[in-house]
Structure 1
Amino acid sequence: MKKLLVVFMLLGAVVQAIAAGDPKPYNERMQWFKDAKLGIFIHWGLYSVGDVSESWSMYHKRISWEDYMKGQAKEFTASEYDPKAWAKLFKEVGADYVVMTSKHHDGFALWDTKYSSVNAKQFAAVGQDVYTPYVEAVRAEGMKVGVYYSLCDWSHPDYTPITFDRPEKELRKLYPQQRHEKYLTQWQRFTKFNFAQLKELFDRYQPDLMWFDGDWEHKADEWPSRVVKDSLLSWNPDVIVNSRLNWYGDYNTPEQDPPVIAPDRPWELCITMNESWGYRKDDHNYKSSKYLIETFVRSVAKGGNMLLDIGPKADGSIPEEQLKILEDVGEWYGKHESAIKNTVQGIPYGHFDGETTVSGDGKTINLFLMGGLKDFTTLRGVKGKVKSIKLVGSGKSLRYQVVDSAPWNDIPGIIQIFFDNAEEDSFVTVVSVELEEPFELYRGIGHSVEMND
């Protein structure tokens, strides 16, 4: 009877969450995200000691649970952690939102959760909640707060599947449970725990964005993903969710490789600065600032955002190589913000040999030149009278001419733009083509000119 009562209570919560539905229209919830363009991703946890990779080193048995969890916890001091300085830096770079790991697959929580002793306050040398100061600092700088949360927890005694040996009896003590939970199945206990931690995060932080991970380990009806999504919306009707909640996410989340073809809904590219998400002492294979800025441009030109990852050290300091990249991205973005912010996906390929964005009013087309400046470039098949053509950043006017036009046959011609003595940007040079009226595109296949003016 007790077991049935508990199951009915769980079912009641499920029905209540589903009944809550989606209280705000999708487009209304997603608007700030589509406008944002740049976010900062932070992977920080026990793995930030820097000797092994986050969680996966334990999964692949390259390190024992004891050495990974207990050994690294002794060195997770956060002695140099300054969340206000972090947030100020991210704001200066141009980020509109920040996502930080609240708990990775290893189960270590950065906030002082009451549902597990495996948290920063009780389990690690830092001895205190380090997540709340992050949220407060990000909000104080006017940026949206994103919470990364792993659906799987490889330290929880009731979680399956597990690929490595764990001290099962000790884990029972680290994840305290109530008496009535003995009437639940193993998976029901874990699901109850997951919902409890998620509710705790929402009660404390009311995140603007929930960034899930680990959904591949179970099917949607096992997590259960629909109930998770509906519950989040009942707790915060404005929250948006990434795609890693099976098919219940609000936007696509490609990783590392920018799509060649734009997805058909909002999306962000999450990308590392080197080959690691968290800090690794031995990973010095950093991507160049130019490559990352070009990737940012390619993402925005296809209507997406870029979520640029950093991996602070266990003491809370950000590695110098990462600071330099952030500085370069911020400097370039600051000079070329008008070509990124308040823009939409660029014009189709073929009209320009490169990436483009378009202003919200349709009167300006921004051209991104990544291979350096040559004698000239061309913009093809664009109808409308040119008002001005300038280098973004310096404001220098550029000489241009319209050639091979036949307006009486509806052929707009080719805008040829010259770079006489123009100074190129060390990363990506941007040209703005401003028109008198919102532009139209000529998308014809071409035809013979039977009459000339």
Structure 2
Amino acid sequence: MLPQQLTKTLAGAALLFSATLPAQAQTKIAADDIREKMQWFADAKLGIFVHWGIYAVNGVDESWSFYNKKISHADYMKQMSGFTASGYNPEAWADLIAESGARYAVITTKHHDGVALWPTKQAHYSVVKNTPAKRDLLTPFFAALDKRNIKRGAYYSLLDWSHKDYPAFTKDSNRYAIKDDPKRWQRFQQFNEAQMQEVATLFKPDLWWFDGDWEHSAEEWNSERIRKNILDAKPAAIINGRLQGYGDYVTPEQNFPVTRPRFNWWELCMTINNNWGYQPQDTAWKTPYEVITIFADAVSNGGNLLLDIGPMQDGTIPPQQVHVLKELGKWNKKHEAAIFGTLGGLPQGHFYGPSTLSKDSATVYLFLPGKVTGDVVLKGLKNKIASIKVVGTGQSLSHKVVGKISWSPVPGLVYIQVPPTVQDDYMSVLELKLDGPVSLYQGMGGLQ
């Protein structure tokens, strides 16, 4: 899809949206309805993921540590006695998330271990009933987000490896085939949907971030009904792509797509080190530069970044994570115009780096990783450039067009001189104002 077409594809967006749903779930959805539903997500660009639970007590893999038999399920669950949340300050969390520049935040309401962070009325584990924290951890966090105009996101694990009626308890002792005991599976479905209804009623998430759908089919999960229940409770809610085809956007995890995903909305979820939850032995911290360049790539390709933090069991956020979020926020504040509310940038081959477009596609933003100086090159631009400025400083730069032949329709190469004095600490950004919506040459050269 050419950049100049991006603002004229509402009908195409409707088709892409319905394409993410199975045939039985597709409905005739007006393009305007889809745009309204997904627009805040498309504009948001950055979310903060929060993995917090009893796994932070011993600093082990969240749920997977017992599933993969690194630790017994009994020993894993003993961590409940050490989960205090004694240093939990949801206002400080929300301040840090706001400072990062994030427009939404997603917290683990319940991971695969089945321990809820809210006072569930179902006969199952919660931090309120089963840990020294003895309080609802979600209500004050979502309230703090509301004060800062940050959208509410609720992670919810569809599977529950600790529930007596789930058919894969630690991969062995509780295994059964649904076809052999459908009533037992029905009991689990009733429990699961009752907890989802609690989350929907108590917290009214703007975004549902499901996980764990891979163990069962859409029919077994009853994904269509789950989606309907969510939208009945809040029609504007959006759902990630882990509901066996009944979601609104795709969610690649940890690994960045090499080519732009074909779906209209997507989000890269990624950790600040190598693990989702707090693990003191994991010191493989990503640097602010690495996070910023990853974020720029995601935005350039029309997506979002959902960057994860893992608080300690007492609710304290490790200083390395605080540092990354603060530095990311400093960069975002300086370059806000080039990031938030923009469109994905130029196709590959036109510029050797990330780029974004204004919504009218008459402004191109070029991101310069690695403290670039000297000439940078833009290829195939048919437009005339009205001005070039450094985002965040307003300094004007000059450019030179090389190789333009007067009688040929093929545009020349645009060379922009970038002096050392304009370098950002992490990544400089240039703003190119054009004479109209961006128009690109994509031919073979010569007389074409």
Equivalent residue in structure 2 for 1:148, among 155, 176, 180: 155
Alignment correspondent of 1:45: 53
Q: CA 1:167–1:82 in 2, change beyond 3 Å: closer, same or farther?
A: farther
Alignment correspondent of 2:201: 203
Q: CA 1:184–1:161 in 2, change beyond 3 Å: closer, same or farther?
A: closer
Report deviation, 1:257. 1.1
Alignment correspondent of 2:442: 443
Take 1:50 and 1:38, find their aligned partners in 2: how far apart are those partners? Answer: 30
Alignment correspondent of 1:263: 261
For residues 188-207 of structure 1, give each alpha carbon's deviation from its aligned partner in whole angstroms, at most 9, with x where no partner exists.
00000011011111111111
Take 2:236 and 2:284, find their aligned partners in 1: how far apart are those partners? Answer: 39
For residues 119-169 of structure 1, give each alpha carbon's deviation from its aligned partner in whole angstroms, at most 9, with x where no partner exists.
11101110111111111111121011000000011111000112357799x
Alignment correspondent of 2:17: none
Take 1:288 and 1:116, find their aligned partners in 2: how far apart are those partners? Answer: 43
1:367 and 2:340 correspond: no
Letter paired with 1:261: T
Q: Which runs of 5+ in 2 are unaligned?
A: 1-24, 176-180
The DSSP-based 3-state class of the residue aligned with 1:74 is helix
Report deviation, 1:399. 2.2
1:219 and 2:227 correspond: no
Alignment correspondent of 1:116: 123
1:104 and 2:111 correspond: yes
Q: CA 1:192–1:19 in 2, change beyond 3 Å: closer, same or farther?
A: farther
Report deviation, 1:438. 2.0
Take 1:165 and 1:74, find their aligned partners in 2: how far apart are those partners? Answer: 25
The DSSP-based 3-state class of the residue aligned with 1:192 is helix
Letter paired with 1:402: V
The DSSP-based 3-state class of the residue aligned with 1:348 is coil
The DSSP-based 3-state class of the residue aligned with 2:48 is strand
Conservation of the 8 A alpha-carbon contact between 1:347 and 1:356? yes
1:239 and 2:240 correspond: no
Q: Which moved more, 1:295-304 or 1:367-376?
A: 367-376
Alignment correspondent of 1:4: none
Conservation of the 8 A alpha-carbon contact between 1:103 and 1:109? yes
Letter paired with 1:244: R
Take 1:375 and 1:445, find their aligned partners in 2: how far apart are those partners? Answer: 27
Q: CA 1:20–1:130 in 2, change beyond 3 Å: closer, same or farther?
A: farther
Take 1:427 and 1:350, find their aligned partners in 2: how far apart are those partners? Answer: 23
User: How do 1:52-201 residues align onto structure 2 when only pairs under 5 Å count?
Assistant: 52-69=60-77, 71-163=78-170, 185-201=183-199
Take 1:165 and 1:131, find their aligned partners in 2: how far apart are those partners? Answer: 32
Take 2:323 and 2:215, find their aligned partners in 1: how far apart are those partners? Answer: 36
The DSSP-based 3-state class of the residue aligned with 2:370 is coil
Q: CA 1:402–1:19 in 2, change beyond 3 Å: closer, same or farther?
A: closer
Take 1:44 and 1:448, find their aligned partners in 2: how far apart are those partners? Answer: 60
Q: CA 1:437–1:20 in 2, change beyond 3 Å: closer, same or farther?
A: closer
For residues 34-79 of structure 1, give each alpha carbon's deviation from its aligned partner in whole angstroms, at most 9, with x where no partner exists.
111000000000011143110001111222222211x211211111
Total equivalences in the alignment: 417
For residues 96-115 of structure 1, give each alpha carbon's deviation from its aligned partner in whole angstroms, at most 9, with x where no partner exists.
10000000000000000000
Alignment correspondent of 1:34: 42
User: How do 1:423-434 residues align onto structure 2 when only pairs under 5 Å count?
Assistant: 423-434=422-433
The DSSP-based 3-state class of the residue aligned with 1:216 is helix
Report deviation, 1:21. 10
Q: Which runs of 5+ in 1 are unaligned?
A: 1-17, 169-182
Take 1:405 and 1:155, find their aligned partners in 2: how far apart are those partners? Answer: 68
Conservation of the 8 A alpha-carbon contact between 2:105 and 2:152? yes
1:330 and 2:329 correspond: yes
Report deviation, 1:344. 0.3
Instruction: Answer with 1 or 2: which has the greater Rg.
Output: 1
Take 2:296 and 2:202, find their aligned partners in 1: how far apart are those partners? Answer: 35
Alignment correspondent of 2:347: 348
The DSSP-based 3-state class of the residue aligned with 2:35 is helix
**TM-score when normalising by structure 1:** 0.88
Take 1:101 and 1:317, find their aligned partners in 2: how far apart are those partners? Answer: 16
Report deviation, 1:19. 12
Letter paired with 1:66: A
Report deviation, 1:392. 1.2
Letter paired with 1:361: D
Report deviation, 1:408. 3.8
Alignment correspondent of 1:320: 319
